[in-house]
Amino acid sequence: MISITCLLIFQGAYAIDMHFSASDGSGDRVSIWDSYNVDDDVKVWGKSSAGFGEGLKIDDIRGLAGPGSIYAVQGYAGSGGYVGMSYIYAEDASQTLARGSAHLTPDALGVVQDVSIKDAEMSAVVSTADRCGRGAMQHAFVGDGSLKSTQTISVNGGIATSQDTQMVGYLPTAFGTAGYMDVNMGPGTLNLQGEGAAVAVSSLDVAGPATVDCKLATGTGNSAWAYGDIRYAESDLGAVGAAAGAGKIDLEADWTGGLPGLFIDGYGEAAAAGIGAIGLDNEIKGTLEARTGDAGTSASGRGIEASNREGIVAAAAAAGNLGVGVDLQNGIIGGGAEAAGVGILAEGRKNEITSETLAAGTGFYGTGAYGGGIEASNRVGTVVAAAAAGGLGGIVDLQNGFIGGGAEAAGVGVMAEGRRNWIASDVLAAGTGWDGTGAYGGGIEAQNREGAIGAAAAAGGLGAGIDLQNGFIAGWAEAAGVGVMAEGRRNWIASDVLAAGTGWYGTGAYGGGIEAQNREGAVGAGAAAGGLGADIDLQNGFIAGWAEAAGVGVLAEGYRNRISSGTLAAGTGWYGTGAIGQDIEASNKEGGVAAAAAAGGLGASFDLQSGFIAGGAEAAGVGVLAEGRRNEISSGTLAAGTGWYGTGAIGQDIEASNKEGGVAAAAAAGGLGAIVDLQSGFIAGGAEAAGVGVVADGKKNEISSGILAAGTGFFGTGALGAEIEASNKEGYVVAAAAAGGVEGAFDFNSGNGIVEAEGAIFGAGAEGGENEIGVGLVAARVGNSADVIAIDVNARSIEGAAGTGVAAGNAELQLTGGTPTSLVAEGSAVGAGGIGATADASADLLMAESGDSTSASGENLRLTVIEGDGIIGAISGTYDSSGPDRVASVEGDVTAGSAMIWGDFSADTSSSASASAENVGAVGTNIYLGSYADDGTAYSEVYSTLGAGGLNFGEMEAYAGDSTQAKLKYKVVGNYQIVAVASSSNPPDFDTDSDGGWAMTIKDVSGEAWTDNTGAHADVI
């Protein structure tokens, strides 16, 4: 083994340069050089050794010690292409102590320098290395203070540098960088490739010394990376900050053919993460990392903490990329960009934020940002936590006249503003890539007093395509959002999940486990989604478009508000647009609470060449409302949607309670369609709607409903309510369901047209004190016909009124030459109602239908009145502008008495007008029963009064068509009277008959009246 050693020791004011190198004769070479400029009291020593036996190498150790100023540089080089430098600088230091070692081979370098500088006006320690354009560096400096830094250089395949540094003084700053840049430029060409990473920490205190304690590392090889462990950085009055970032660029350009032949192809990407605090008593800590590579560019922060007093603290991570392609020779221009970020902010007084993880990245599969274990606390100011992502792309084909582009974005955030704010979130994330753009927040909590807090997630997408050669334009847009908010005093929000996204399969927003609580202000929770699209063919004069939207929400306003919801979601996509809310609760005192879901769709097409226009619209909604004092709402599910198969809204297990105000629950749906042919002057259209609702107004109100639903689509429009209950004291309660449809066609050339309409409705109501309604099932639908159904209906009132009933009707209008020539209408209804001290109306089944004819029926329809008036019965009627009107009815009345009347009542217009009742019974005082039929030229009537007593097994009939007929039959005990009357005009005739008296035992009584072509007839048995 052969070695050479050089030893140097000196002390004094010297400026000395020293160089030591070695080679083995085969071309391998290593060298080290030193430059020292030191004060008199500084001692410098060093030792270098060269070895050849086990490969060429140099080993070096050195040291510096003493007070004063120092500027020392040591350099390193190897024939393998690396260069390294170490710097030590101290100005008027009270003491400097430095030790270093270096190991050099032709292809590798290892350096360690340990430096301590005390009480210097300025001090710095720097380490750098470079090979073949790739480099890394560490830098630490501080003014008017002290520094202790251990720094390393490693060159062995890649390049890495590090520092472990503690500093106290003015603006202590430490940073590290790594990366490379390769630039090749020729005549009319440019090729640029590069990547880099950096990490830094700094602290500023304008009133005194600041502190930094950190460990940093950077490197580059196949990729560039940077790492920072910020153990401590603080200032009393000023600012502290730390960040890590990375970036990458790849660009190729060729303009040798001038502007017409310009070619550009390239991309760039970057990511960063940081912590900062500005104000009083600032402090930050955490781990930061950034890197580039084949899989993309990323930056992250772990174990982040930042706090201060009366200032601002923030932590954030972000990433983005940009790509461009230009080929003017072929007329192609393309480009794209995407970005994502996550951040936390606290502004005001006594701010504090912590985050287990903050990360952002961009690469082949997209761009994303993530924050985990986030907490932000503030008093008197504002705190915010948010994540967002977005993407943008476009392409232009100048030769073929084609333009295409798209954009998408997503975000999630939590905010608290006011006094004593606090936010916590397990996860905040946002991303955009091949499969779409999304934002997500999990385990969110937000608390505030006297201010406002909000949590939200949103996503949206936009796309367009333009073909100028063929005159074709197409585009689409979609958006979704979900949010929670509390404003006022003593606010609090918690949500397991807030999410929003847009992509290939649509756009959606989701919130799970949501809670919102407030006192004296307002709380709200909502989810919404929408979509919009259009196609335009200018050559063929064709235009088509569509739009759809859905939403669900909960609101409480007033005093002592509270909302909780298991799920809030809304979405739009290939299969339609929808919104859903599950396990919703809303409570309030003295204000109002509301829960709702809605959806709608709109579509249209225009053929301008042929003058053809077609369009359609549909909508559905379901809602619950409580207004007044001590309000409360709960709902298992609220949902609304629109899509290929129609539009619908549903609410399940709904409850609403109130005292002194009003509560309401409702579901509704509707559809609209039209066709217009301008060339032939033809117009056709249709509309349909259905709804179901419950309302209670007054004091001590309460509503509950197993299901409320409404829908419209290809097979018709409907509304459904199941197991509905409504109770009230001193006010009124109502339950109702309705369905209807209208369609028509008109020819402007001939002036001929037709309009048809049909509808059906059910209702139950109670007014007064201690009112109650219960409906096992209620439904309304319109398709080929309109029908409504109600099962197990109840309506009860004490000292007020009660009623229930169903009705159906249809009408047809014909126009000839623009003039109405025919109007035909028909309707049927069954109902019972009463008013008095106690009134009760109920039915086991109520049905109404309107199709080719109308019908209404009530099974076991019952009316009870105590000291009041009431009516129960069935009626049907027809109207024909070219013929007589017809009406038939059967009814029972109570006038200023106490009685009960029951039976199976029905009415229909299938064979003109008819009404009937079976199993009729009555008991009490002042009771009236009657059957009546009228065909416009004749009438028949049979009626009976019961002063006191009872009757049973009764039958009632009425018919009005080509003739009229009325019947009444029953078994009676008590004081009764029965009268039959018939009258006709063709031939003119009149007849009457009657009977009455006291029936001490059961007596069979019957009466009949009728008219025909022989005259009028009346008979009582």
What gap in Å lies between CA 970 and CA 1021, rounded to an integer?
11
Q: Which residue has the higher pLDDT, 486 or 203?
A: 203
What gap in Å lies between CA 700 and CA 584, rounded to an integer?
21
According to the model, what pLDDT value does residue 451 have?
A: 64
The tens digit of pLDDT for each residue in 232-271 reads 899 999 999 999 998 989 889 888 888 878 888 888 888 8
Q: Which residue has the higher pLDDT, 23 or 846?
A: 23
What gap in Å lies between CA 231 and CA 393, rounded to an integer?
41
Residues facing residue 1 across a β-bridge: none
pLDDT surpassing 80 at residue 734: no
Residue 974 Rama label (left phi>0; alpha psi -120 to 50; beta): left
The tokens describing 279, both together, are 């104000």
Categorize the per-residue pLDDT at 643 as very low, low, confident or very high, splitting at 50, 70 and 90: low
According to the model, what pLDDT value does residue 873 have?
A: 92
pLDDT surpassing 70 at residue 714: no
Identity of the highest mean pLDDT range in 315-329, 473-487, 517-531, 766-780? 315-329
Is residue 281 a part of any domain in this protein?
no
Is residue 952 a part of any domain in this protein?
yes
According to the model, what pLDDT value does residue 404 have?
A: 75
According to the model, what pLDDT value does residue 979 have?
A: 98
Of 197-201, 528-532, 913-917, minimum mean pLDDT range: 528-532
Categorize the per-residue pLDDT at 490 as very low, low, confident or very high, splitting at 50, 70 and 90: low
Pairing assessment for the beta strands 576-607 and 612-643 based on DSSP bridges: antiparallel
What gap in Å lies between CA 753 and CA 750, rounded to an integer?
9
Is residue 763 a part of any domain in this protein?
no
What gap in Å lies between CA 564 and CA 566, rounded to an integer?
7
The tens digit of pLDDT for each residue in 823-837 reads 988 888 888 888 877
Is residue 986 a part of any domain in this protein?
yes
Q: Which residue has the higher pLDDT, 320 or 169?
A: 169
According to the model, what pLDDT value does residue 461 have?
A: 76
The tokens describing 356, both together, are 């287990």
Q: What is the percent of the chain where pLDDT is above 90? A: 32
Domain that holds residue 992: 919-1020
Averaged pLDDT score across all residues of the chain: 82
> By the 8 A CB rule, do 563 and 523 touch?
yes
**Whole-number Cα distances in Å, 170 to 23, 125, 207, 237, 856:** 46, 16, 10, 12, 91
> By the 8 A CB rule, do 965 and 912 touch?
no
Categorize the per-residue pLDDT at 1009 as very low, low, confident or very high, splitting at 50, 70 and 90: very high
According to the model, what pLDDT value does residue 234 have?
A: 94
Q: Which residues contact 640 (CB under 8 A, 6 or more apart)?
A: 550, 551, 552, 578, 579, 580, 597, 598, 599, 620, 621, 622, 647, 648, 649, 650
Residue carrying the six token digits 């004749």: 938
> Mean pLDDT across the stretch 383-397?
77
The tens digit of pLDDT for each residue in 957-996 reads 999 998 999 999 999 999 999 999 999 998 999 999 999 9
**How many domains does one find in the chain?**
1
pLDDT surpassing 70 at residue 158: yes
The tens digit of pLDDT for each residue in 755-792 reads 888 887 877 777 766 767 666 676 656 666 667 777 77
Q: Which residues contact 631 (CB under 8 A, 6 or more apart)?
A: 556, 558, 586, 587, 588, 589, 591, 592, 593, 656, 657, 658, 659, 661, 663
Categorize the per-residue pLDDT at 308 as very low, low, confident or very high, splitting at 50, 70 and 90: confident
What gap in Å lies between CA 622 and CA 152, rounded to an integer?
68
Categorize the per-residue pLDDT at 317 as very low, low, confident or very high, splitting at 50, 70 and 90: confident
Is residue 391 a part of any domain in this protein?
no
> By the 8 A CB rule, do 518 and 562 touch?
yes
Pairing assessment for the beta strands 1015-1020 and 988-1012 based on DSSP bridges: antiparallel
Identity of the highest mean pLDDT range in 66-75, 182-191, 528-537, 853-862? 66-75
Q: What is the percent of the chain where pLDDT is above 70? A: 81
In this structure, what are the phi and psi dihedrals at residue 261, rounded to the nearest 5 degrees?
-105, 15
pLDDT surpassing 70 at residue 708: no
The tokens describing 560, both together, are 């002592």
According to the model, what pLDDT value does residue 304 have?
A: 86
Categorize the per-residue pLDDT at 715 as very low, low, confident or very high, splitting at 50, 70 and 90: low
Residue carrying the six token digits 């899509």: 643
Categorize the per-residue pLDDT at 660 as very low, low, confident or very high, splitting at 50, 70 and 90: low
User: Which DSSP symbol is given to 912?
Assistant: S
Q: Which residues contact 612 (CB under 8 A, 6 or more apart)?
A: 605, 606, 675, 676, 677, 678, 679
Is residue 987 a part of any domain in this protein?
yes
Categorize the per-residue pLDDT at 609 as very low, low, confident or very high, splitting at 50, 70 and 90: confident
Q: Which residue has the higher pLDDT, 621 or 66?
A: 66
> By the 8 A CB rule, do 333 and 363 touch?
no
Residue 82, burial from CB neighbour count under 10 angstroms (0-12, 13-18, 19+): buried
What gap in Å lies between CA 769 and CA 798, rounded to an integer?
5
Q: Which residue has the higher pLDDT, 397 or 278?
A: 278
> Mean pLDDT across the stretch 669-696?
76
187: preceding bond cis by omega (within 30 degrees)? no
The tens digit of pLDDT for each residue in 552-601 reads 676 767 666 676 777 766 666 666 666 677 777 767 666 666 767 677 77
> By the 8 A CB rule, do 700 and 730 touch?
yes
Sign of the C-alpha dihedral, residues 221, 224, 229, 235? positive
Is residue 595 a part of any domain in this protein?
no
Is residue 165 a part of any domain in this protein?
no
pTM (whole model) above 0.75? no
What gap in Å lies between CA 712 and CA 692, rounded to an integer?
13
> By the 8 A CB rule, do 444 and 486 touch?
no
> By the 8 A CB rule, do 436 and 456 touch?
no
End-to-end CA distance of the chain: 144
SS3 content of the chain, % helix, strand, coil (to 5): 0, 90, 10
According to the model, what pLDDT value does residue 1 have?
A: 40
Categorize the per-residue pLDDT at 79 as very low, low, confident or very high, splitting at 50, 70 and 90: very high
Task: Tell me which H or E stretch contains 619.
Answer: strand 612-643
What gap in Å lies between CA 160 and CA 136, rounded to an integer?
6
According to the model, what pLDDT value does residue 631 have?
A: 61
According to the model, what pLDDT value does residue 935 have?
A: 92
pLDDT surpassing 50 at residue 513: yes
Task: Tell me which H or E stretch contains 53.
Answer: none
